[in-house]
Amino acid sequence: MDFNLFMNDVVDAARKDIKEAGYEELHTPESVDEAMKRQGSTLVMVNSTCGCAGGVARPAAANAIHYDKRPDHLVTVFAGQDREATEKARGYFDGYPPSSPSFALLKDGKIVTMLERHDIEGYSAVDVIGKLQHVFDEHCEEI
């Protein structure tokens, strides 16, 4: 099997998972800036092709939002794929090193908190759902 074809399939599946969960993909630095200018809370899921993204982060991203409180906006950038968009998004995460997968919660374009890879890797999707919903309880409005 051709490695590049295999990786294209992996990336396509990862993109499809997060889009079907209701997250808006940001492919360019300009689309990141537009998203960060929105008023309210924004959850940024930094997607990746690693096992903890597919087995934990994306399922958590899809399920955590079915809750009484949730962010106003759901967006995603793809580390290693949409590099410029990911770099631009990480520029909004002041005080946090690059991490993927990860979740950043911003309010009015300013970082509030972040779940980094070490908060995801080694945990179950249910654990991460709980962590995200705890963040939503603290920083988001009831829908």
- Catalytic choice (52, 85, 89, 135): 52
Q: State how far the Cα of 33 lies from the Cα of 28, in Å rounded to an integer.
A: 9
Size (the chain), residues: 143
- Catalytic choice (14, 45, 50, 56): 50
Q: State how far the Cα of 50 lies from the Cα of 84, in Å rounded to an integer.
A: 19
Helix (H) or strand (E) holding 43: strand 41-47
State whether the Cα torsion 9-11-17-19 is positive or negative: negative
What contacts 96, CB < 8 A, 6 or more positions away?
A: 90, 102, 104, 111, 114, 116
Is 52 a residue of the active site?
A: yes
Residues noted as catalytic: 50, 52
